[in-house]
Amino acid sequence: MTGISEYLAKIAEINRLDIKSPDGWIFHPGMLFQSTAKWWGDFGSRHAPHEGLDILFYRSADGFVDSIGPDTLVPLLADGYAVNICDDFLGRSLVVESRMQSTSRFRIFSVYAHLDIMPGIETGTRLAKGDMVATPASTAGKKSKIAPHLHLSVLEAPSSIPARELDWNLFGNPDSPVRLVNPAFL
């Protein structure tokens, strides 16, 4: 089982999702890494290639398409330290450094986006794989009309960048020194 399929299985397990099978998750093309398509609204083009993976739909045991929602608990992919919590266009993002993988020159991060972050998690909090850190932010009242979902990004950034600058101004900028990693290949 790869890292991402293990992670998706963990989401199903802790939320007791009535999912058809471990690979019952559904990813429309626009939800995938580097896609330039929207999977919502007018199904037009994104402003920039997708920086990660959007997790939302799955096939339930009775064969229907269901989705996670604002009550869904979001677990952590790997051990790490919360290094920043910042706003994104649907909610907030939690930036976690995997220090085990970081080197003196590059640091490895996972970013959990469009969420409400659990109280008590702040910059410097040590977190463990599987910890439940957030729930998808409600998008009611937002112009975008995107269903609440989890966006996951994995990236590598030069160690010279201060933690407080690790936000979407950086991750969403194709000219930044951040290297985005495809979460499907974890």
When the beta carbons of 54 and 66 are compared against Zn ion, the nearer one is 54
| Nearest-approach distance from CB 1 to Zn ion, in angstroms | 23
Cα angle 81, 83, 87 (rounded to 5 degrees) comes to 130
| Nearest-approach distance from CB 12 to Zn ion, in angstroms | 19
When the beta carbons of 90 and 105 are compared against Zn ion, the nearer one is 90
| Nearest-approach distance from CB 54 to Zn ion, in angstroms | 4
Estimate to the nearest angstrom the gap between the alpha carbon of 116 and the chain centroid. 12
- Judged by the rule CB under 5 A, the positions of this chain that interact with Zn ion are 54, 151
Q: Are 149 and 30 in contact (CB under 8 A)?
A: no
When the beta carbons of 21 and 173 are compared against Zn ion, the nearer one is 173
Other CB atoms within 10 Å distance of the CB of residue 152: 21
Q: Are 134 and 122 in contact (CB under 8 A)?
A: no
Query: CA separation (Å) from 158 to 10, 155, 162, 166, 174?
Result: 30, 10, 9, 11, 15
| Nearest-approach distance from CB 159 to Zn ion, in angstroms | 26
| Nearest-approach distance from CB 153 to Zn ion, in angstroms | 8
Quote the strand ranges of 45-125, DSSP E.
53-55, 57-59, 65-67, 74-75, 80-87, 92-97, 106-117
When the beta carbons of 79 and 167 are compared against Zn ion, the nearer one is 167
Which helix (H) or strand (E) segment holds residue 169: the answer is helix 168-171
In the complex, which residue's CB is closest to Zn ion?
151
When the beta carbons of 54 and 131 are compared against Zn ion, the nearer one is 54
